Amino acid sequence: MGYINRSVKLLEIATLADAQTVVGDEVLLPNRVRAIGLQANFVRAGGGTTCKVYLQTSLDGGTTWFDIACFAFATTSLRKLSSIKHDIATTPNTTASDAALTDNTVLDGIIGDRIRIKAAVVGTYTGASSLSVSACIN
């Protein structure tokens, strides 16, 4: 069995501005994804309140999306890393959420056939505040 290793930019917001919710493009996943490594770079130049970044997946071809990772940022520039693995059991009958997963957590065990990023920005960030999210799919 061969392994895949694919890096992809999931979201790039060069200038964060007013409060907004941004949904990135869908990325179709190959069969047998074992893990997704995730990196979010948040640069705060000024202003703003919170910026939450959700990695979402779908089990029904993109009709319904739910969170499998959440990064929470506020007023400090940070780079955060996380990974989601398919071979860790979730709690039975886990409730799916859309942009509501607990801050700085992951939901291991469920990786659908596609992923996307949803970012929720509260407050008005100023200057050269930015956000980028990349993944390495294995």
Choose from 5-9, 12-16, 70-74, 89-93 the range with maximum mean pLDDT. 70-74
- Contact between 42 and 73 under an 8 Å Cβ cutoff? The reply is yes
The rounded mean pLDDT for the chain is 91
16-62, pLDDT tens digit by residue? 878 899 999 999 998 889 999 999 999 999 999 999 999 999 999 99
pLDDT at 40: 97
What pTM, to 2 d.p., does this model score?
A: 0.92
Q: Which amino acid is at 112?
A: G
Instruction: Mean pLDDT check: name the lowest of 14-23, 33-42, 63-72, 87-96.
Output: 87-96
CA distance linking residue 129 with residue 14, whole number of Å: 7
pLDDT at 5: 66
Question: Which burial class, exposed, middle or buried, applies to 136 when counting CB atoms under 10 A from its CB (0-12, 13-18, 19+)?
Answer: middle
Q: Which residue has the tokens 């996307």?
A: 116
